[in-house]
Amino acid sequence: MPDLVIICYIFFLLSSYNTTAEDVKCTQQERKVLLELKNNIVIDRCGLLASWGNQEDNKDCCRWKGVHCSNYINSSVIIKIDLHGFDTSSPHPCLEGKLTPTLTELKHLSYLDLSYNNFLGEPIPNSIGSLGKLRYLDLSHAGFGGGIPHQLRHLSKLETLFISSNSFEDTLSNDNFQNFSRLKDLDLSNNSKLTLNFSVDWIPSFQLDTLKLRSLALGPHFPKWILTQRSFSYLDISEAGISEPIPTSFWNLLTLNLSFLNMSNNNITGKLPNLSHPIFDHWRPLEVDLSFNSFEGTIPSFLGNVSSLKLNNNKFSNPIPLLCPKSKIVLLDLDLSNNLSSGELPDDCWENMDELSFLNLESNQFSGKLPQSLGAIKQLQSFRLCDNTFFRSPTHFIMELLLFGEIPSEISYLGGLVSLDLSRNNCSGTITPNIGQLTSLEFLDLSNNHFCGEIPTSFVNLSYLGILDLSNNNLSGRIPLGTQLRGFDASYYMGNPGLCGEPLPKICPGDEAFNESHGEDIELTQQDKDDGEAILSHATQYNIKCIREEREALLQFKRGIQEDHCGILSSWEGHEDDVGCCQWRGILCNNLTGHVMAINLGGVEAGNDHHCLEGRVTTFLPRLKHLKYLDLSFNNFLGQPIPKFISSLANLEHLNLSNSGFTGKIPHEFGNLSHLTSLDLSDNTVVVKSLGWLSRLTSLSVVNLSDIDLSEVQDWLQIITNLPFLKVLKMDSCYLPSTIPSSLTFKNSSSTLRFLSLAHNSFGDPSIFQWLFNLSGVSTHLVHLDLCDNSLPGSIPNGFQKLHSLSYIDLSSNAFESHIPNYFGNMHSLSHLDLSANNLSGSISSCFKNMHSLSYLDVSGNSLGGQIPEMISSLKYLIHLDLSWNNFHGRVPKTIGKLCSLQFLELSYNNLTGDLTDVIQILSVCSYKSLRFFSLENNHFGGSIPNNIETFSLSRQLYLDGNQLNGTISQGIAKLSMLETLRLSTNSLIGTIFDSHFANLSSLRNLYLSENPRLLVNISVDWLPPFQLDTIYLSSCKVGPHFPKWLQTQTQISWIDISIAEISDIVPASFWSSLSSKLEYLNMSHNNIHGILPNNLSITLSELPQIDLSSNSLEGAIPSFLGNISSLSLNDNKFSDASSFLCPKNKMVLSNLDLSNNLLSGELPDCWMYFDKLSILSLENNNLTGKLSASIGALKKLQALHLRHNNFSGELPISLHNCTSLVLLDVAYNAFTGYLPQRIGNNLKNLGILSLRSNSFSGVLPSSLCQLSHLQILDLSHNNFSGKIPRCIYNLTAMTSTADLLPDILYQYDFSVLVTYFDSAFVMWKGKDQIFRNSLGQVKFIHMSNNVLEGDIPEGISSLIGLISLDLSGNKLNGSITPKIGLLTALELLDLSSNNLSGAIPATFTNLNFLGMLNLSYNHLSGRVPTGTLLQGFDASAYMGNPELCGAPLAICPGDEPPNNNTWNGNDDVAQQDVNDDLFPGLYISVVLGLL
């Protein structure tokens, strides 16, 4: 019975924990905390907070993305927040903003992840130390700065602390970690200004499992406290500045838990001990990286029983004990390159290392012959014994041997080779036919040797061969027959004078008679006879006459085609006596029967608007009963349903209907095509409810269903799994369900899958890996894997280490975190690896040194850090290297210049330092020969653009902007004749740049020199540039005083910025005429450009550009040709006439128009109906008069209307109610009259700023004013409003919070993009109009001064706790001041002067700690001024005109003792006045930073 009770209790607990999210409701207090966090986020690029509600709804925050609540019984506290960032469109952080301190009110929080965001350099809030239940804290790559708060030490339950890749500047000591007794995982890596200052004898209270201190200054001594840690599974102290030997005791302390040890990139000296340790007695999956140090002597044998060993770039002189073990070892990867090893390689030991898949011995001093016994290493995939410097394939694994003589026949033993490259050696003799036994080969390059004889016929066995290069040898004879070898381009056989046969133009002897036979019987090869129905090459098709009925079917197909944009069917003729359809383009026939076997009408893009063929597929195709191959891809069949009759082509083996404009359902009859081996239906607008028909096509080896919505096909995984011969599967962008059905079995799973692409499906959970890693045979066959853009979370799974054959991996744009797995170093076939746009941390040196096959590496947009390791030179095959948007620091390693095949080098957005001259010198070693793209953008490089940059003659893109370059630009830049983009902006370059700098840059399209204020651009007046630019930025350079006439020669410009360029000239009319129709952006602001703009131009600007001519001295009329753009800024000029511009003949597309601060006068025309796209209209500070016309109501998209400082009169038009999108309405300083519209709150619900100051408005304030829930600034001062302040004022909910609740103001740029507009507003502050910009959304003001308001101050005003300024002065308010006004603790200005207020000053005024300005003068207040340093600190003038008030700073109250003479005197008053002028602790810290 007790057992039954226990079981029931357990069942009760389980049922409680299984409560769904719908059952759990978060508390209003915790919901408020989350909303405050959201309100402090300025940008949410990834939509992390898209599901988070707002103040007005009542959505349960437990269901918001990233929020997890307690699921225990009825509790509903938030226990986990996971807002780690990721980016699917670019490498930028997801969230940008500030971390609200109130987050620490979530007292039950145990898990907090805010990694990969940008908190704008703010320090971690001190209050985070109050989260006492926190166990997991990840703030890595989050843009934090400053010091690490000492309050973190209070998190005594913390088990994981990741704060890597930030910008902390602090020193940590033992005390910071004294309470972390539970700590298991610690990552402080990549904080270059973070110093660790631990006591020599410190013994930590914790035992770490993971420790990452990469790129921190630990050295020069080995940190002894590490010797106290005996539970390491992962230890990385690379790039730590250690320069002394490793204590022998360290090796003895290692445990069997250890899986990763990295001490690379230090300067560790001495010899490794020859010890015996249990951890090394037997093989285990342990990666050891000691590379790039100064170890010397003999390599001990005990290191042989690890999975991966990197000892490269040291000074080891004797590797024999390791290379010649006494018994078998299971070492998989070994890198001994760049040491001092010498002598002959042993010839009788390799059988004991037969598990090796990667062996690198290059750049040593070995001598002798290549041992034949290397053939015993049957698992070998990569072997290096040399240091070649030639081009390598970007997408294939390479093996290269510096060989002399013939290729040894033992090459056939290396059956696992996927790619073999023996090019550019001195190999001779005939090519061994044994290469034909390497049936996994996909890449074979034997070019540039001295091979002779014929190409072995065994090459036809290389069925997977994708690239073949036999050029520049002495080969002779006929290229073997077979579509495999003859399908390659002729260039791969060139340089062999004795070779003949297709695809070479040289005809082999005896073939001439064959070509002249025309109609005689064709002699078949034995292989053709065996095949029975072989399809001949195109050269022999002229001997075949097709079947008349089939010819007619083809002609019927042609009649169904309405347009042939590519001329595909131009050879299809219909003469009565012509039956030679086998010669028509795209048709192949059987050489025996003449039946049409293949139709290849796959199109190519013929332009921006057309596919090749347009029309319909006719019903005559089923007459081609022998058809095996049908390709109608990339055409447009005008929405025709996929024809069902295709399913009657019973012999069809290949069907490609991709991108062909088909619609409707996929016919289930396709399941009858039992011979089909290849199917491509991708990129059609078809409806799929089921893939049951696909399960019947069991012969399929290639399937492509990409860009088809398969979201309703729940059993897709089971169907795909059961296709036994599947080799290629592409299902990108299919909205695939990610859940693996419980019924999924792997009984018939494919054992041949080689190519798998499931990109852009947004799976969101890692269950897809459960399927992938359980597929039969996937570990040995899969070569290509693409899972990018799937929002996959967590760590990169360990299952990848079993996929030994992979050569291509793309895991980019997911949410992977933690470090890059070390097992990647074991994947020696890998040539393409893309891990960009994830949340990965740590370093790259731990595993990449083993990946010598790598030609493409992209790890951009992660949290990787430390220095770029010297070992990068080991990746000799690299063509593409992207390390951008990480936290790498230090100098560019000298070894990077040894990457002689490098074409793309992207290092931007890191913290790299050094002199640019040194970097160019490094790359001039070898990389300059191949480099096409080079970017150091947004780092910290200094110096000049050196002369030797001229060596980069092949470079097309050069990005050096956003650095600290402070020298001159060398004339060497003129030698870069292939340069297309030059970016040098945002530096401190000096000197003069002449037209001679650009003399040879005929390919230049994009030029960025802006933000170099000391750079003088001195171009000859009559210079004719050799280029046509698309983009030019010369902002903040010394371009003037004359307008650069050479710009008139640039007729293809889309972006131009010559603002702040010291131009003091007129703009030639010919410049405007030369503008390209594709112009998108033109900025000539902040110069002294003068004159009149031409008004007789007719310019077509198709891209709706933004034009900014503000802050110049332009005058006269505004020309009409500027109307058809998206944004026009003409403010701060001397324009005097806008009448024609503002009353056009046709509708304008302007979205943003700024004509403020000009000399415009007169009445505005009643033509606003022509500007119905306007979002922002600014006419302030002119001399405009008259009434605001009723047509203003046509501006239904208007969000900001600035009319202040004009002479407008009359009432606000009723039609203004139609402008329901208004966020800002400023009509201050005019002569408007009439009442405030009664329904203003009902219609203008988005209004956040309302300024009616200094007009002649009158009447009672309407109660609907209280419905403006977004209102943050209300200025009604200096009018004639009467009546009472509305009692409902407490409903102005935006003022009940200090958060920014101002709606975003957007305007349209081009035809589809909405751009956020950062508006500004004038607010009266201390008697002056101040302009607020950056902090506008945090300003909360109510100003109603100088009206005739009466009655008391509503008590509800105390609810507006976000108020910073309250001015009710100069009215007729009476009654007492409500004590609740003391609740307005954010107040910094309070003016109630010149009213009829009576009674005492509430004692609660002492709570207004931020109050910097107070005026209660000229009322009827009485009693004592409340005691407190704040109120006594104001000048007596703040209380004057209240004769019954007393107490400091006024006269003493009756019965009080006289003050000490030293307390108050005239000098003190003056001093106090000076203090008051500076007393703005809140506003001048948090808000005035946004002024001007």
Of 328 and 161, the structure prediction assigns the larger pLDDT to 161
Cα separation of the two ends of the chain? 79
| Residue 1053 pLDDT exceeds 50 | yes
Strand ranges in 353-435 using DSSP code E only, listed in sequence order: 358-360, 365-367, 382-384, 404-405, 419-421, 426-430
Q: Which of 101-105, 203-207, 485-489, 954-958 has the lowest mean pLDDT?
A: 485-489
CB 139 within 8 A of CB 163: yes
Which pLDDT does position 846 carry in this prediction?
A: 65
CA distances from 606 to 558, 566, 568, 1196 (A): 19, 6, 11, 42
Q: Mean pLDDT check: name the lowest of 14-18, 929-933, 1082-1086, 1367-1371.
A: 14-18
**How many H helices and E strands in the chain?**
18, 96
Confidence label for 135 from pLDDT (cuts 50, 70 and 90): very high
pLDDT confidence band for 458 (50 / 70 / 90): confident
Q: Residue 977: is its pLDDT beyond 50?
A: yes
Can you give the pLDDT at residue 865? 92
Q: Count Cβ atoms below 10 Å from residue 754 Cβ, excluding itself.
A: 23
Q: Are the C-beta atoms of 1169 and 1192 separated by less than 8 Å?
A: no
- Can you read off the two tokens belonging to residue 704? 């492509």
The 10s digit of each residue's pLDDT in 76-87 is: 788 899 998 864
What b/e string do you get for 1273-1298 counting C-beta neighbours within 10 Å, with b at 16 or more? Answer: bbbbbbbebeeebbeebbbbbbbbbb
Banded model confidence at residue 435, pLDDT cuts 50, 70, 90: confident
Determine contact, residues 655/628, Cβ cutoff 8 Å.
no
CA distance 637 to 662: 6
If phi > 0 it is left, if psi is from -120 to 50 it is alpha, else beta; for residue 566 that is alpha
Query: From CA 1419, how far away is CA 1413, in angstroms rounded?
Result: 17
pLDDT for 1489 equals 29
Whether residue 1279 is predicted with pLDDT greater than 90 in this model: the reply is yes
If one counts every other C-beta atom within 10 angstroms of the C-beta of residue 1413, the result is: 21
- pLDDT tier at 512 (50, 70, 90 boundaries)? very low
3-state helix, strand, coil in the chain (%, to 5): 20, 25, 55
pLDDT band at 71 (very low <50, low <70, confident <90, very high): low
Phi, psi of 409 (to 5 degrees): -65, -20
Record the tokens describing residue 624, joined without a space: 């081609």
Going through 1409-1482 in order, the beta strands assigned E by DSSP cover 1413-1415, 1420-1424, 1444-1446
* Residue 1262 reports pLDDT greater than 90: yes
Confidence at residue 1285, expressed as pLDDT on a 0 to 100 scale: 95
Q: Say what the pLDDT of residue 228 is.
A: 87
Q: Are the beta carbons of 1047 and 1056 closer than 8 angstroms?
A: yes
Calculate what percentage of the chain has a pLDDT beyond 90. Answer: 39
Is pLDDT at 1481 greater than 50 in this prediction?
no
Q: Looking at residues 1320-1325, what average pLDDT do you find? A: 58
pLDDT for the residue numbered 44: 87
What's the pLDDT at 18? 39
Tell whether the model's pLDDT for residue 878 goes beyond 60: yes
pLDDT tens string 1346-1362: 999 999 999 999 999 99
DSSP 8-state secondary structure symbol assigned to residue 1069: H
Who has greater pLDDT, 1303 or 930?
930
State pLDDT tens for residues 1379-1389: 999 899 999 99
Residue 658 DSSP one-character state: T
Distance CA 14, CA 17 (A): 5
Query: Tokens standing for 349?
Result: 């030991």
**Type of residue numbered 255:** T
Residues forming beta bridges with residue 735, ordered by sequence position: none
Can you read off the two tokens belonging to residue 1247?
């209004």
Confidence of residue 1490 (pLDDT cuts 50, 70, 90): very low
Looking at residue 1253, its pLDDT comes to 95
Instruction: For residue 703, give the DSSP letter.
Output: E
Take residue 505 and report the two structure tokens written for it.
């133009």
pLDDT of residue 926: 87
**DSSP-H helix ranges across 364-508:** 483-486
> Taking CA 1061 as the corner, what is the angle to CA 1056 and CA 1062, rounded to the nearest 5 degrees?
145
Task: Say if strands 1321-1325 and 1328-1332 run parallel, antiparallel, or are unpaired.
Answer: antiparallel
Across the chain, mean pLDDT equals 82
pLDDT band at 459 (very low <50, low <70, confident <90, very high): confident
Residue-level pLDDT at 579: 58
Q: What is the average per-residue pLDDT within 402-418?
A: 63
Query: CA-to-CA distance for 1072 and 1070, rounded, in angstroms?
Result: 5
What single DSSP character describes residue 785? E
DSSP state of 636: B
Coil, helix or strand at residue 556: helix
| DSSP secondary structure letter of residue 252 | H
**Residue 869 Cα distances to 266, 866, 894, 908, angstroms:** 10, 8, 10, 16
Rounded to whole angstroms, the Cα distance separating 879 from 395 reads 9
Mean pLDDT of 723-747: 82
Give 1469 or 947, the one with higher predicted confidence: 947
pLDDT tens digits for range 391-406: 222 222 223 333 345 6
Token pair in block for residue 1152: 């943003």
Show the CA angle centred on residue 610, arms to residues 607 and 613, nearest 5°.
120
Q: For residue range 166-211, list pLDDT tens digits in order.
A: 988 888 888 888 889 899 999 999 888 888 888 888 888 888 989 9
User: Which candidate, 1273, 1272, 1386, places its Cα nearest to that of 1323?
Assistant: 1273
Q: Is the pLDDT of residue 33 over 50?
A: yes
User: Residue 574 has what pLDDT?
Assistant: 66
Residue 9: per-residue pLDDT: 41
Please count the other Cβ atoms lying within 10 Å of the Cβ belonging to residue 1477. Answer: 11
Q: How far is CA 463 from CA 161, 305, 536, in A?
A: 52, 37, 19
pLDDT for the residue 104: 80
Place of tokens 């499992």: 209
Contact 1266, 1286 (CB under 8 A): yes
CA angle 871, 873, 877 (to 5 degrees): 125
Q: Are 1111 and 1136 spatial neighbours (Cβ–Cβ below 8 Å)?
A: no
Task: Evaluate if residue 1232 carries a pLDDT over 50.
Answer: yes
Radius of gyration of the chain (CA): 39
State mean pLDDT over 821-829: 84
Cis peptide before 220 (omega within 30 of 0): yes
Mean pLDDT of 1155-1166: 94
| pLDDT of res. 75 | 58
pLDDT (tens digit, 9 = 90+) per residue, 828-864? 888 899 999 999 999 886 677 778 788 899 999 999 9
Alpha-carbon distance 658 to 1249, whole Å?
Answer: 54
pLDDT reported for residue 1314 = 43
Closest alpha carbon to 782 in 770, 769, 795, 772: 772
Report how far residue 291's alpha carbon sits from residue 908's, in angstroms, rounded to the nearest whole number: 26
Pick from 482-486, 939-943, 1345-1349, 1402-1406: least confident:
482-486
Averaged pLDDT, 123-140: 90
Residue 1224's φ and ψ, nearest 5 degrees, are: -130, 125
**Averaged over 1448-1474, what is the pLDDT?**
57
